[in-house]
Amino acid sequence: MYIIFILIAISVLVAAGFLAAFLWAVRSGQYDDDYTPAVRMLFENEVSGGPKTKKPGQK
């Protein structure tokens, strides 16, 4: 049954990893604007051949 110690340690570590990812996401400003990216991602599909796509990274 002592495997539970390891399992719990792993599960908490995984969760902590997600928490760190979340904190990083907030820090890098991904939660500052929750509207524009949703619109922006639709542009490329509607542009038919014309203007070439913009580089994906914004900064």
Partner 1 sequence: MEAALQTNIQNCYHCGDSCGDEPIIAHEKAFCCNGCKAVYELLEENNLCTYYNLEESPGLSGKKPVSEARFAYLDDPGVEAQLINFRSDKICKLTFYIPQMHCSSCIWLLENLFKLNPGIADTTVNFMRKEVALTYFHEKTSLREVVELLTRIGYEPAITLADTDGKKTTKKSRTIIYKLGIAGFAFGNVMLLAFPDYLDFTQGLQHSFGSFFGYLSILLSIPVFFYSARGFFTSAWEGIKQRMVNIDLPISTGLLALFFVSLFDIITGRGPGYLDSFTGLVFFMLIGKYFQQRTYDTLSFDRDYTSYFPVSITVLKEDGEESSTAVRNLQVGDRIRIRNQELIPADAILLRGRAMIDYSFVSGESEPVEKVVGEVIYAGGRQVGESIELEVVKEVSQGYLTQLWNDTVFSKNEEQYLHTYSNIAGKWFIIVTLMVAAGALIYWVPRDMDIAMKAFTSVLIIACPCALSLATPFVHGHTMRVFGRNKFYLKNTGVVERLAKIDTVVFDKTGTLTEPSEAEVTYTGKALSDEQEQAIFSVLRHSTHPLSQRISANMKGSTAPVSAFQEFTGKGLAGEVNGKLVRVGSAAYLGVPADKQKDTLKTTVYVSIDGVVLGYYTFFNVYREGLKKVLSDLNDKKIAVLSGDNDHEAARLRELLGNEAELSFNQSPVQKLEYIQRLKEQEHRQVLMVGDGLNDAGALKQSDAGIALSNSVTNFSPSCDAILDASSFDKLSTFLNFSKKTMTLILLTFAVSLVYNVVGLTMAVMGLFTPIVSAILMPISTLSVMTFATLSVKYAAKKAGL
Dist CA 5 CA 24 (whole Å): 28
Which segments of 1-59 are extended strands (E)? none
The tokens describing 42, both together, are 């639709």
By the rule CB under 8 A, 26 interacts with partner 1: yes
Q: Which helix (H) or strand (E) holds 46?
A: helix 43-46
We find the least distance from the C-beta atom of residue 2 to partner 1, in angstroms, to be 9
Dist CA 21 CA 18 (whole Å): 5
By the rule CB under 8 A, 10 interacts with partner 1: no
Interacting residue with partner 1 among 6, 7, 10, 12 (CB under 8 A): 12
What residues line the site for partner 1 (CB under 8 A)? 1, 4-5, 8, 11-12, 15-16, 18-19, 22-23, 26-27, 31-36, 39-40, 42-43, 46-47, 50-51, 54, 58-59
